[in-house]
Chain A
Amino acid sequence: MDAETLAVFREEADALVESLQDGLLALHDAPGDTALIDRVFRDLHTIKGTGAMFGHTALAAFVHDFETAFEKIRSGETAVTPDLVNLSLRAYDCIVRLLAGEGRDEAEERSVLADLARHMEGAEPPAEGWRVTFRLPPDTLALGGKPELLLEELSALGQARVQVLADRLPDLGTLEADRLHLGWQIEIEGAPDEQAVRDVFLFHEDDMELEIAPLHPDAAPAERDAPAPPDAKAPAAAAPPKTGAAPAMRVSAERLDEMMDRVGELVIAEARLAELAAASSDPALISVAEDIQRLAMGMRDTTMSIRMTPIGSITGRFRRLVHDLSETLGKPINFSVTGEETELDKTVIEQLTDPLMHLIRNAADHGLEGTPEARAEFGKPPAGRIDLSARYSGAEVLISLSDDGRGLDEDRIRARAIDRGLIAPDADLQRPQVLSLILEPGFSTAATVTELSGRGVGMDVVKRTIETLRGSIDVSSEPGHGTSVTLRLPLTLAIIDGLLVDVGGERYTLPLAAVEEIVELPPDKRHSNGSTQFLDIRDRLVPFLRLRDLFSTTGEPDPFQKVVVVSAGSSRIGLVVDRIIGSNQTVIKQLSPLHARLTTFSGATILGDGTVALILDVPHLVEHGPTAPVLESAA
Chain B
Amino acid sequence: MTAPHRASEGSRDVVTLRLGDEVLAVPARSLREVLEPMQITRVPRTDDFVRGLINVRGAVVPLADLRVPFDMPRKPADADTRILVLELPLAGTLSVVGVIADAVHEVTQFDLSSLEDVPAVGTRWPPHLVTAIGRWNGRFVILPDLEAIFDSYLGGADTSPPSELEHSSCD
Binding site for B on A (CB under 8 A): 265, 268, 506, 550-553, 589, 591-598, 600-601, 604-606, 610-614, 632, 634-635
CA distance A553 to B62 in the complex (A): 20
- For B90, the chain A residues whose CB sits under 8 A away are 592-594
Q: B60 contacts A551, CB within 8 Å?
A: no
CA distance A415 to B91 in the complex (A): 38
Residue of A589, A594, A614 near B154 (CB, 8 A) is: A594
Contacts A591-B60, A594-B62, A594-B97; is A552 near B44 (CB within 8 Å)?
A: yes
Q: A593 contacts B154, CB within 8 Å?
A: yes
Encode contact with A along B39-65: 1 for CB under 8 Å, 0 otherwise: 101111111001001110011111010
Q: How far is the CB of A198 from chain B (nearest CB, A)?
A: 53
- For A592, the chain B residues whose CB sits under 8 A away are 50, 60-62, 90, 95, 97
Query: Does B140 belong to the interface (CB within 8 Å)?
Result: no
Q: B64 contacts A589, CB within 8 Å?
A: no
Q: How far is the CB of A607 from chain B (nearest CB, A)?
A: 9
Nearest to B92 among chain A residues (CB) is A593
- For A594, the chain B residues whose CB sits under 8 A away are 50, 62, 64, 90, 97, 150, 153-154
Docked complex: B114-130 residues within 8 A CB-CB of A:
none
Q: How far is the CB of B94 from chain A (nearest CB, A)?
A: 11
- For A606, the chain B residues whose CB sits under 8 A away are 55, 58, 60
- For B43, the chain A residues whose CB sits under 8 A away are 595, 598, 601, 614
Residue with the highest number of chain A CB atoms closer than 10 Å, among B55, B59, B150: B55
Q: A593 contacts B95, CB within 8 Å?
A: yes
Encode contact with A along B78-122: 1 for CB under 8 Å, 0 otherwise: 000000000000110101010000000000000000000000000
Instruction: Give the total number of A-B pairs whose CB atoms are below 8 A apart.
Output: 78
Q: B91 contacts A612, CB within 8 Å?
A: no
- For B42, the chain A residues whose CB sits under 8 A away are 506
Q: A610 contacts B55, CB within 8 Å?
A: yes
Nearest to B49 among chain A residues (CB) is A594
- For A268, the chain B residues whose CB sits under 8 A away are 58
CA distance A401 to B93 in the complex (A): 35
CA distance A635 to B42 in the complex (A): 14
Q: B58 contacts A612, CB within 8 Å?
A: no
CA distance A67 to B90 in the complex (A): 51
Q: How far is the CB of B64 from chain A (nearest CB, A)?
A: 7
- For B156, the chain A residues whose CB sits under 8 A away are 597
- For A600, the chain B residues whose CB sits under 8 A away are 44-45
CA distance A632 to B45 in the complex (A): 8
Q: List 11 A-B contacts (CB under 8 A).
A: A589-B59, A591-B60, A592-B90, A594-B64, A595-B62, A601-B43, A606-B60, A612-B60, A614-B43, A634-B45, A634-B46
- For A551, the chain B residues whose CB sits under 8 A away are 44-45
CA distance A613 to B52 in the complex (A): 11
CA distance A593 to B91 in the complex (A): 7
CA distance A572 to B32 in the complex (A): 45
Q: B55 contacts A595, CB within 8 Å?
A: no
Residue of B46, B93, B150 near A635 (CB, 8 A) is: B46
Nearest to A265 among chain B residues (CB) is B58
Q: B47 contacts A614, CB within 8 Å?
A: no
- For A612, the chain B residues whose CB sits under 8 A away are 39, 41, 53-55, 60
Nearest to B48 among chain A residues (CB) is A634
Q: How far is the CB of A605 from chain B (nearest CB, A)?
A: 8
- For B54, the chain A residues whose CB sits under 8 A away are 612
Residue of B47, B59, B60, B62 near A634 (CB, 8 A) is: B47
- For A632, the chain B residues whose CB sits under 8 A away are 45
Residue with the highest number of chain B CB atoms closer than 10 Å, among A552, A592, A595, A635: A592
Known: A596-B154, A611-B39, A611-B41. 5 other contacts (CB 8 A): A594-B90, A597-B155, A598-B45, A601-B43, A635-B46
Nearest to A605 among chain B residues (CB) is B60
- For B39, the chain A residues whose CB sits under 8 A away are 610-612
CA distance A506 to B41 in the complex (A): 8
Nearest to B53 among chain A residues (CB) is A612
Residue of B53, B58, B150, B153 near A614 (CB, 8 A) is: B53
Q: Return the 4 tightest CB-CB contacts between A and B, nearest first.
A: A551-B44, A612-B41, A589-B60, A593-B91
CA distance A606 to B156 in the complex (A): 28
CA distance A634 to B55 in the complex (A): 23
- For B45, the chain A residues whose CB sits under 8 A away are 550-552, 598, 600, 632, 634-635
Docked complex: B13-70 residues within 8 A CB-CB of A:
39, 41-47, 50, 53-55, 58-62, 64
- For B61, the chain A residues whose CB sits under 8 A away are 592
Residue of B46, B59, B60, B93 near A598 (CB, 8 A) is: B46
Nearest to A611 among chain B residues (CB) is B39
Nearest to B54 among chain A residues (CB) is A612
- For B46, the chain A residues whose CB sits under 8 A away are 595, 598, 634-635
Nearest to A506 among chain B residues (CB) is B42
CA distance A594 to B149 in the complex (A): 11
Nearest to A606 among chain B residues (CB) is B55
Nearest to A632 among chain B residues (CB) is B45
Q: A604 contacts B44, CB within 8 Å?
A: no
Q: How far is the CB of B45 from chain A (nearest CB, A)?
A: 6
Encode contact with A along B136-165: 1 for CB under 8 Å, 0 otherwise: 000000000000001001111000000000
- For A506, the chain B residues whose CB sits under 8 A away are 41-42
- For B153, the chain A residues whose CB sits under 8 A away are 594
CA distance A596 to B64 in the complex (A): 15
Q: A611 contacts B154, CB within 8 Å?
A: no
CA distance A111 to B55 in the complex (A): 62
CA distance A164 to B54 in the complex (A): 81
- For B41, the chain A residues whose CB sits under 8 A away are 506, 604, 611-614
Q: How far is the CB of A630 from chain B (nearest CB, A)?
A: 10
CA distance A506 to B46 in the complex (A): 16
Q: How far is the CB of B160 from chain A (nearest CB, A)?
A: 14
- For B62, the chain A residues whose CB sits under 8 A away are 591-592, 594-595
Q: B95 contacts A611, CB within 8 Å?
A: no
Contacts A593-B91, A598-B46, A613-B41; is A604 near B58 (CB within 8 Å)?
A: no
CA distance A632 to B155 in the complex (A): 15
CA distance A16 to B41 in the complex (A): 50
Residue with the highest number of chain B CB atoms closer than 10 Å, among A268, A606, A612: A612
Q: A611 contacts B44, CB within 8 Å?
A: no
Nearest to A635 among chain B residues (CB) is B46
Residue with the highest number of chain A CB atoms closer than 10 Å, among B45, B62, B155: B45
CA distance A595 to B95 in the complex (A): 13
